[in-house]
Amino acid sequence: MTSLPGSGLRVALFATCFNDTMWPETPRAVVTVLERLGVSVDFPLEQTCCGQMFTNTGYAREALPLVERFADVFEEYDAVVAPSGSCVGSVRHQHAGVARGCGRPALADRATAAAGKVYELSELLIDVLGVTDVGATFPHRVTYHPTCHSLRMLRVADKPLRLLREVRGIELVDLPEAEECCGFGGTFAMKNSDTSVAMGADKAQHVRETRAEVLVAGDNSCLAHIGGLLTRQRSGTRVMHLAEVLASTERDFAAANELGGPPYAAGARDGREATA
């Protein structure tokens, strides 16, 4: 019997506070995908926030306890996966610097070691497990938005698209001006709301030009922003995290048809949660 790609690998799921609070279906989908591939997934209950809300606004000392907590919780694992390029980017590119700047060199070394084992979902699937076909089925017209942190900080490049191209039944269409920012940017959306909404409106317009049924991305924060605008425009386009598409199977759609449900997997949503 051929072993599964993830057999013997012990991975911790870092759900991220944003997903855990608002979209728990996304981290659940990560577990579904990884267990399908034979990965043993742990969810350490002691996990909290990565701290980027503090670090991005200059509150390094307030972020320090979260940097230490992350190292305490995750340093024992072979790998850590998170369904957020933004949070993975913070762990990799900010944690050690925060510790060092606060006069904690030993913690900086631990943060560096922990960060080297942290992956965004598409990175773990392709770079660590070596797979692009995860057994997914999603028979819908889809377009993909590459979020800024995954594209520019993590440089995941076309990894999410490579995974989507292997999904059975999918019709994947290019998003015009795909690499333009959606305008969310965390605290930027609150401090510069007019600019944020204008950028989001441009992105929403490009999404509508594709006539996609579903907009997919690797960060729910960006999907909340774009999805809110798409809903206000009554576009009919829903938003869905990459993990939820990859977790979808033919059985899911057969069950939805039997129950008379909508022609989307359960994770698809129309962005009403977003109020920005």
What are the DSSP calls for 119-151, one per residue? EEHHHIIIIIS--S--S-B--SEEEE---HIII
Report helix angle 105-115 to 60-74, nearest 10: 60
Q: What length is written for the chain?
A: 276
The torsion angles phi and psi of 13, rounded to 5 degrees, stand at -95, 120
Per DSSP (E only), the strands in the chain are: 10-13, 40-42, 79-82, 118-120, 141-144, 171-173, 214-217, 238-241
**Which tokens sit at 39?**
């990965």
Render each residue's pLDDT in the chain as its tens digit; 276 residues: 467 887 888 899 999 999 999 999 999 999 999 999 999 999 999 999 999 999 988 999 999 999 999 999 999 998 999 999 999 999 999 999 999 999 999 999 999 999 999 999 999 999 999 999 999 999 999 999 999 999 999 999 999 999 999 999 999 999 999 999 988 877 787 788 888 889 889 999 999 999 999 999 999 999 999 999 999 999 999 999 999 999 999 877 666 665 555 555 445 565 544 433
Using CA atoms, how far residue 81 sits from 23, 51, 137, 140, in Å, is 16, 17, 22, 27
Contact of 271 with 259, CB cutoff 8 Å: no
CA distance 219 to 224: 9
CATH class of the domain whose range is 132-258: alpha beta
Contact of 223 with 245, CB cutoff 8 Å: no
Instruction: Give this prediction's pTM.
Output: 0.89
CA distance 146 to 237: 17
- Residue whose entry in the numeric block shows the structure tokens 């770079």: 127
**Domains of the chain by residue range:** 10-127, 132-258
